[in-house]
Chains A and B, each alone.
Chain A
Amino acid sequence: MKQFRINETHQVSPVYALFIIKGMQVGVSVFSFQRIVSRDSEQDAWIPVMVMGLSTLVIMWIMLRLLKNEQAYGMPDLFAMHRRFFGPWIGNLFSAVIIAYEFCIVIIFMRAYIELLQMWVFPRLPVLSFTAIFCLIVWYIVMGGFRTITGTFLLSFIYLLPLFLVNSFSVTEAHFNNLLPLFDHSPAELARSFIKLSPCYLGFESLLFFYPFLKRPQQAEKWCYYGLLTSLSVYVTTTVLGTVYFSQGELQTLIWPLLDFWKSIHFPLFDRFEYIGIVYWLTVLIPNISMGVWIVSRGIKQSAPVIKQKYALVPVLLLLILICVVMKERSQIDWLNTTVSRVGLCIIYIYIPFLLFWQWILKKKEGMTHEKELSHHHDADAAQRLHRR
């Protein structure tokens, strides 16, 4: 049974669940989602944002249930679950799909950030050298183990607090009547926004991979919910900001509305805030990419135990560099982003509840066989007793 538990020296305190989940959810999409989400639902855009945020709480409950039940059978993470539920072959196939999905998310993050840097700060930024240096940092962090990754999440949480205070600059120029009339859109329009919104909240499903690394998982549950609520508040305030600071027509012309808002802020010492903000956003990217790469390399190790995680890590990072260099156009990133977010939507809303259902079925089946065994035992006992007599 010993391989089912992670050594306590590699585990982290329950409170870190908040930083990891919030960190995984708030990524580069914060800059751009307002336009996409308000295309259909205009001033009511905050409603789908709120609804999706609340729905993640439900999914989180399902995930926690799933993982808690799984503790009795083995390692409580998705890769081990796949093997137990579907057998080694199909299970590993599913794991491969999940690994590919996580890897695509890493690529999108990396590529979207590079695009941001190239567009706003350094138009001539060479992709190869940036990703190479960046991957070196990621390699260093992932080699440090899970606790190091968690540490970077904590740092990024602290670093980001002042950045969100900047949002209060919008209040003086806000047109709050832009939010009126409330609830003026049909459910169909809201649903369309809801689907387009999906890349924002994705990321909290990483709990399925790092759950065994949490000390006292019972206590960690509430921090998981708090993490979701933190990112919910971030997204709702950013949506409201986009609605009250920009007019709807203007918002539709802006690809990164939040950066355009930062563009109108200046301080006595630095004239333009968005340069600081974008470069500062690197502190969000580092833990995010590290976590993604950690999940991918751990998935490879879990599915094929011959390969050690540190050996799996290097080709993963090299592939990341390669793909980032090859992908050049915005349309490619956009395509990958939409595809992956649709897949992500299916994973969290269909696949995870399905897993819980499957686990319940397995348990029932097992219970039945157990009972049969018991009754069989009973019969044998009776026969023995009879025989003795």
Chain B
Amino acid sequence: MKKSLVIIMMLMLLSGCIEDNIIDDILMAEAEGYDYIGNNQVIGTITTPNYAQGGVSGSGGGGLPATASMMSSATTVTYDGRSLAENLQPKGQKKIKVGKLRIMLFNEALLKHGFEKTIHFRNQDPEVGRDMYLAMVDGSTKDLLTATYQTAIPISRYVYDLIFQNQQQNFPKNNLSTFLYSYYGRYADPMMPIIKREKDHIVLTGIMFFKHDKYAGRINGQQKAFIFKTLVENFKFGFYDYTFQQNEHAVLENVSSSRQYVVKNGNSATPDIFATIRITGYVRQGSPLLKTKDYNSTIKRGMEKDLEKQIKKMVAGFQKSGIDPIELGQIVRSYTRHFDGASWSDRYPNARFHVKTKINIVETGVSQPR
């Protein structure tokens, strides 16, 4: 019995062989930025949160900040697709780990060059979660990541929160998981949001679209983003600003938006795609010119027409440049028996897209206009 006890104790000792990652002893990279500088070289920037504690007043020794001296960002030049954390180890005060990466930013030049290697690496690496955000930066990612802003929280969380809250509203849902879904998916092209630094703010300016892994176009502003979002997902919050005449607006805040597709002749040279978009919403901000009954006649119909026009224009633009961020190809495939996938890329620009919007204005605010 004693002998077996000794053996058991010795076996327990073996378990100490695995390396540990104690949170105080590592630097957790939370944001990565890539700036393309030509010739397959990138400037890579990482930032790590800097848990600066304020000195505790009244305590002896002046309450020295505990970790304020930790580094907060580092930059290197490397080939594209290289793991930044590994490449930056020589600059790391402590071991740099990417397990908690929240955002990855790319500048326009890199996306125009194509970033297949980076995406492949992200899909291959088990260390990073899939609910992080990818975003394009207008300007330099290094500037954006190392600048100081009004908020004191780390830049990674600032950008994360910014994108997160906007994706609850006018911007379509997009994170690494959905990006990979459409990147590797057949008959679909991915997209990502665009952010920009404006002095001490960060602004979400639009959405950019890919053709496979290369930049292929963008839309700006939350109006366009709303229109795009109605096509790609069902959602509950968002607002649409309708200008019914010069300088006169009515804003629809939507309570729910749902889309429905029907496809006919999916294997013909010109497939017909019928989209029906139903939006239910409030108007809380309307022009003083409008009466209650106007909302259910002119405004409603005007909005429907306007949305249809804009949607058609947007889809025609996508078809012209041969990109498919709405994943119309997936929709046609799911409605067509023995779908002819090989010729889809040739047929996609000729597909006939029909859209019908149905807007239901439920309430018009708490005051009775005139």
Do the two shown chains form a genuine complex with each other? yes
Contact with A along B116-141 (1 / 0, CB 8 A): 00000001001001110000000000
Q: Given A180-B334, A248-B185, A253-B123, is A129 in contact with B130 using a C-beta cutoff of 8 Å? A: no
Q: Say whether, besides A132-B11, A177-B330, A271-B129, A250 and B180 are in contact (CB < 8 Å).
A: yes
Would B184 and A249 count as touching, CB distance under 8 A?
A: yes
Q: Is the CB of A124 within 8 A of B18?
A: yes
In the assembled complex, the Cα of A264 lies from the Cα of B130 at a distance in Å of 5
A-B contact count (CB 8 A): 88
Among A119, A181, A184, A250, contact of B126 (Cβ-Cβ < 8 Å):
A119
Within the complex, the shortest CB–CB distance from A67 to chain B, in Å, comes to 38
Q: Is the C-beta of A126 less than 8 angstroms from some C-beta in chain B? A: yes
Contact in complex: B335, A247 (CB < 8 Å)? no
> B8 contacts A129, CB within 8 Å?
no
Residues in B whose Cβ lies below 8 Å from that of A175: 181, 330
Q: Kindly state the separation between the CA atoms of A264 and B177 in the bound complex, as whole angstroms.
A: 7
Please, which residue of chain A has its CB at the minimum distance from the CB of B16? A129
Interface residues in B1-25 by Cβ distance below 8 A to A read: 8, 11-12, 14-15, 17-19
- The interface bits of chain A over 243-258 (1 if a CB of B lies within 8 angstroms of the residue's CB, else 0) are 0001111101110000
Query: A266 and B177 in contact (CB under 8 A), knowing A178-B334, A249-B184, A249-B185?
Result: no
- The answer to the question of B202 belonging to the interface, with a C-beta cut-off of 8 Å to chain A, is no
Contact B15–A129 (Cβ < 8 Å): yes
Distance between Cα atoms of A264 and B131 in the complex (Å)? 5
Q: Measured between alpha carbons, how far is A249 from B185 in the docked complex, in Å? A: 4
Q: B194 contacts which chain A residues (CB < 8 A)?
A: none
Residue of A nearest to B338 (CB): A184
Q: Indicate if B331 sits at the interface (CB-CB under 8 A).
A: yes
CA distance A173 to B181 in the complex (A): 11
CB-CB under 8 A from B129, the residues of chain A are 263-264, 266, 271-272
- Contact between B178 and A266 (Cβ–Cβ < 8 Å)? no
**When the two chains form their complex, are residues B15 and A184 in contact, meaning their CB atoms are under 8 A apart?**
no
Instruction: Please give me the residue from chain B that is nearest to A119 by CB atom.
Output: B126
Asked if B186 lies at the interface with its beta carbon under 8 angstroms from chain A, I say yes
- Which B positions have Cβ atoms within 8 angstroms of A? 8, 11-12, 14-15, 17-19, 99-100, 123, 126, 129-131, 173, 175-178, 180-186, 188, 330-331, 334-339
List 6 A-B pairs, minimum CB-CB distance, nearest first: A247-B185, A129-B14, A250-B184, A264-B130, A180-B334, A177-B334
Other than A133-B11, A180-B334, give 11 A-B pairs with Cβ distance below 8 A: A124-B19, A125-B18, A129-B11, A178-B330, A184-B339, A247-B185, A250-B184, A250-B185, A252-B184, A253-B184, A272-B129
